[in-house]
Structure 1
């Protein structure tokens, strides 16, 4: 074999080995992320490789502070280097950009209007909207300020707030009646917010507009804080969650998918 062919083969083998090492290092990080900590033997057994290979990779990861060893138990866990990398992600993530394809999928699936909202100055502000094929809505909700107590998205935000912060906002904005069905009692609202926190979703039944129902779920970020809300709304004559319970399942799945794109991981 010519020398050039030998060099090419060596380079190819080296590149293949390098890729394999990267794959294995990532697998180790996944194991530590899942289990919290693990020893060399446990990791080697799960990966199906020799302990010396795992030890070598762990030492390399420890050198860049991606992992660290617990001196008391001799096991490894994720290190502060991971935090440095993770800290740079949220600033680069755009909630609207990450959520857009999921909103469109949900609108097509539900055949209704889907909105993405954030909390701003005591109001729920819709920052994006997708229309389903059967949607009768012509109103553009994007940019509009909607009251927290009368909307499904607003109730999601209120349920996630500490009690003192929630009290402050409600004291400032009040509980005005938008329709005869709007909740204007603080006690009744607090009771409903307990259900929202327990069930993981909020409802609004003709509380903002007569003839308009809505469902909403939270969107979480990498530290499990609520940073947004995704909702489905439609005319009350056909949008009844008691009759179409699968809407809640679809909405929850969409909220989780957006949350995962924002760095959220379920524990």
Structure 2
């Protein structure tokens, strides 16, 4: 009985703080300064009730009032807290427990890739019980041209940077063709920059990327992007599995699950989708 009372006491908050917090939530939701009557209405209270909260929040720097319009907006302390929160937000740390659950639900391997010094690099891999064993481990760098994760990053990275990587891949391809491995079939030629641009436009149109047996025969993959507060892509959430059981439809179960996971991480780090050119 005493334990129950202790738990209840720990859970009990300060109601006035929670009530006043609705004003902050309303400002955050609308993303702009608001007149008192509108702000109070959105917070579910009268202007007379809202005003004392706004005065106190103003003294703390959480809210400030525009001297010309009289509208209320978020103050300098709110901005500082937001910036500190963004600095502390680690998308890989947030996504790691999510991909474990995702791999179990989908029945496919799920990984996290970030942009490294040599291109898209896998930093986390979570295998499903029915995992497809491919030559991939933590630290694996993948191609930007024929992998789902690689094309996804290429679609959202600066064009000059992506083009330079493409030219590097094309140079390596020429060397490999000049010294073919005995008994190995020749790989299909890499796209030109113009051809690759069309592929990347298709990735951006769907908001995610997929590959169907292009890297390893019989293995498919889909990848969804995570964006930060500037609209830059910081991470890819990628599912990999046998083509026979892997749903690569843009509106299929795997695509929906990957988007949901990536969007959740983006939201946690204050991310926003980039503005289309």
Give the Cα–Cα distance (whole angstroms) in 2 for the partners of residues 123 and 54 of structure 1: 51
Give the superposed CA RMSD. Answer: 2.7
Counterpart residue number, 1:56: 52
2:112 matched residue in structure 1: 116
User: TM-score, structure 2 length as denominator?
Assistant: 0.81
> Mapping of 1:162-241 within 5 angstroms?
162-174=158-170, 180=187, 183-241=190-248
Q: Secondary structure at the match of 1:194?
A: helix
Determine whether 1:32 maps to 2:27: yes
Structure 2 CA distance for aligned equivalents of residues 121 and 33 of structure 1: 36
Could you tell me which runs of 5 or more consecutive residues in structure 1 were left unpaired when the two chains were aligned. Answer: 1-11
Equivalent residue number for residue 143 of structure 1: 139
Answer yes or no: is the 8 Å Cα contact 1:151–1:204 preserved in 2. Answer: yes
Is the counterpart of residue 20 in structure 1 residue 15 in structure 2? Answer: yes
Pair 1:127-2:127 in alignment: no
Indicate conservation of the 8 Å contact 1:181/1:206, yes or no. no
Please tell me whether the aligned partners of residues 65 and 81 of structure 1 are also in contact (alpha carbons under 8 angstroms): yes
1:194: Cα distance to partner? 0.5
Compare 159-168 and 229-238 and name the one that shifted more. Answer: 159-168
Q: Relative to structure 1, is the Cα distance of residues 58 and 265 closer, same or farther in structure 2, using a 3 angstrom cutoff?
A: farther
1:229-261 superposed Cα distances (whole Å, 9 cap, x missing partner):
000111222224149822111111011112222
Segments of structure 2 that go 5 or more residues without pairing to the other structure are: 1-8, 177-185
TM-aligned CA deviation for residue 219 of structure 1: 0.8
Partner residue, 2:253: 246
1:76 matched to 2:83? The reply is no
- Specify the SS of the correspondent of 2:245: coil
Q: 1:152 to 1:243 in 2, by over 3 A?
A: closer
Distance, in Å, in 1 between the alignment partners of 2:20 and 2:145 is: 48
CA distance in 2, matches of 1:240, 1:266: 25
One of 22, 46, 49 as aligned partner of 2:42: 46
- State the alpha-carbon separation in 2 of the partners of residues 233 and 148 from structure 1: 16
TM-score (norm 1): 0.83
